Structure 1
């Protein structure tokens, strides 16, 4: 399981290096002239999502009680992940990871050192305060082609999608048809920027309920077993919560890089908990015998 997490960490290093090249050397800008990093992901928002999930995977490695903790090269990569996340200018990921960490700190408060989580959030917020304030101040500005407050544009798009969803709630319009359907009937060809509405539109309410059940079961698993390996379960819980929140404003489900990373981290977390439970039970049997 640790090999999977190290693979994510090593691949993230390559992705971040190319991201730094874009930011500092090639000078790639978005439509409004801002320096934005898409790196190898090819999309600005996807890069932020990739980094947020990689951060959760790195926290899992920090929680290891083995000699893995002595491999100090994890620390500079973790710091680089944080820097890259803020340079990505991905407001949605900032908000989602912040809320996930706060909720995790509250639910795991009896099992982890909450003050380190809170202090970490405060220090990082202060360190990047200028960038954060600048980015959120753009919400009241207008770019060359659109308002920089992209959330209102997405809400309008969601409103256009709702009548189409209501018209075919059970089986939807078919997988991968959202652009075609919204372009023909919603009068605007644009990504849905909401996994739940996307799944509802394309596959119907049953598929949506199954997907929500899957996500919530993962989340509840790590709450249920939070006392087993608290730091690890806190990290995976944060990852699960992040995905639930960011899916409200982004499309993660059809991203062939980010969503499999989420699955790998959840699977690693479940496997490590299973190994912990097996070892604990075997010790109990040994003591009884």
Structure 2
């Protein structure tokens, strides 16, 4: 001490502070000389309270919600994790995931993607029909695009690569669908039918051209539709070392109370035990 009060020695505090993840070690209210031992056990792994996870899944239409990771030795936090959902069915939804003072916002389920058909040139005797199918709007991973030609349906689900930064998602989707239709024409479901070719023009337009036979009108039918993504996988890592991951099931989200909107709090559980004893073994 300093002659006026008793305190732990600076050397012992410095020694304790060398333990990974421990700082500002001190002893207060010292009234008699003693020796204190600090023991830390555990691997610092993170998980969420089971009951809280179950409630959050039911409230927001989530599947496979989990907290994982290892507590950071420098920025570790015991703060609860919070998940907030905003928006309305059929519109963009915001998922706000927070760990302490750090938060991330993920927006998804934009429902503006469309496919429209256009009869550019009707079939006449000896002249082919030309039809266009336009892919428009915001394309997100998981959105489903379908074209039905001559009663045969071709579907494609947009991937993360299709919508990656620098990519033209509508053109990527159009290329995939045109390739499927072309394969069906050359040796599949559309072989011998009234459609002859499938190609891609500008801005994600699929161009379908019909067969021709002298003196005969060979027209074909085309319809198109889209389905908003059914699921969205979200995984966010935080400075504390905590990783929050889950899959949003759109149908469960839309069927939940209040359209899945609201806030859920998940207690963070860390595999860490701190034991302090004095020279008499008191803890």
Task: Check whether TM > 0.5.
Answer: no
Say which structure is richer in helix. Answer: 1
Say which structure is richer in strand. Answer: 2
User: Which one has the largest radius of gyration?
Assistant: 2
Q: Which has the higher contact order (CA 8 A, sep 6+)?
A: 2
TM-score normalised to the size of structure 1?
Answer: 0.19
TM-score normalised to the size of structure 2?
Answer: 0.20
